[in-house]
Structures are given as structure tokens and as C-alpha cells.
Amino acid sequence: MNFCWSTRKDFEVSYDLFVERFPELGWKETRSTTVFANNSYGLPADEYGLIEAYCSDKDCDCRRVFLNIASRKKEEIVAVVTYGWETEAFYQKWFGGIDNEISRQVVKEMVGLGLNSASPQSKYANAALKLVEELLQDPNYVARLKRHYQMYKEKVDPKHFRKRDEASKVTAKPKRQRSR
């Protein structure tokens, strides 16, 4: 397949695209899938790309991805799906406790799969959500998303996300001894 989503500049996307930080690897590792007519999702036959975006807030370990579902034929985003892979308890802690309806709502939206309430969605959004749900059954794909999240965060926020052991490895490098 020789198709690059990066040629489309007119997408409205949420947050910050992974491919903008890692253009070469990002496009190579962007999942896309072909959906045929009369599919079980209710999507028009097309090729769909799952263009990843992550939150660029400083010191925010939200552990979720925004998947901008791009239609190749229409050249537009048909849905913005969010996927948070941690538990509800994790997001409660991340949010700093649940004390009202708003915080409960925020945490609920963080956990698992859903349509991003802050993004425009097309009439095929729910169908796209079903497609994503199926693609996330692949543990390799989920592992890839988590890896991309870590790479992205280390790049935009090295102060909080660069692993400590890696940093100490660099400083602990033994000095080369003189041979004479």
C-alpha cells in the first residue's frame, strides 16, 4: 500500500498529532484498514486511517490516545475516538479525586473507548467506534499505541517523562581510561 495520510493538510484534529513529532516512523506505524461494502459496522466502503494524537499538556500522564478516523475517499475525519487504557481508579487518582458530577463525568470519559465529546463527529461516528473496538482486540496494536504515547511524552515533556534509569545510565557512563 502506498498511501500517505500526511498529504491531507485540511483535517481538523484534536490535540497534537503523533506524526508531527515522528513523521517517518509515525506514518509507517499508523494503522489503516480497508472496509468493504455491507460491513457489520455500518461504514461506507472505504479505507480508514487511525491517526493518533496525544495530549501535550505538561506533566499530564493521562494515558490515552485520540484516534482521528480518516476516510480516504472523503478526505475527512469521520470520528474522533478516545481510548484510555488505564482503570477507573487510575483516572480518579489522575483527576485528584471525585467530588462532583463534573469530575465523575470526566473520569468516565477517560476510561476505555468512546467518542470525544469535544470534537465534531459525523453520522458514521458510532460505526467508526465499532471498527476501532474491533481493531483494539489486537494486543500488538494496543502495545504500539502505548509505546507511541511514551515516545510522544518523552519528546514533548522530557522533564517529567524521560525515564530516570536512562538518565542515570548516561551520567554513570564510565570514563574511558587512557591506554598509557
Residues at the interface with Zn ion (CB under 5 A): 55, 57, 60, 62
Nearer to Zn ion, 19 or 53 (CB): 53
Closest contact distance (angstroms) between CB of 35 and Zn ion is: 30
Q: CA dihedral defined by 8, 10, 14, 16, rounded to 10 degrees?
A: 60
Closest contact distance (angstroms) between CB of 136 and Zn ion is: 19
Beta-carbon contacts of 162 under 8 Å, excluding residues fewer than 6 positions away, are: 154
* Residue type (1 letter), 102: I
Evaluate whether 62 touches 94 at the Cβ level (below 8 Å).
yes
Nearer to Zn ion, 40 or 105 (CB): 105
Of 18, 40, 29, the C-alpha closest to 126 is: 40
Closest contact distance (angstroms) between CB of 141 and Zn ion is: 21
Facing residues of 90 across strands? none
Cα–Cα distance for residue pair 12/30, rounded to 1 Å: 17
Closest contact distance (angstroms) between CB of 119 and Zn ion is: 15
Nearer to Zn ion, 55 or 127 (CB): 55
If one counts every other C-beta atom within 10 angstroms of the C-beta of residue 34, the result is 11
Nearer to Zn ion, 142 or 156 (CB): 156
- Per the structure block, which three cell numbers stand in for 136? 483494539
Closest contact distance (angstroms) between CB of 150 and Zn ion is: 13
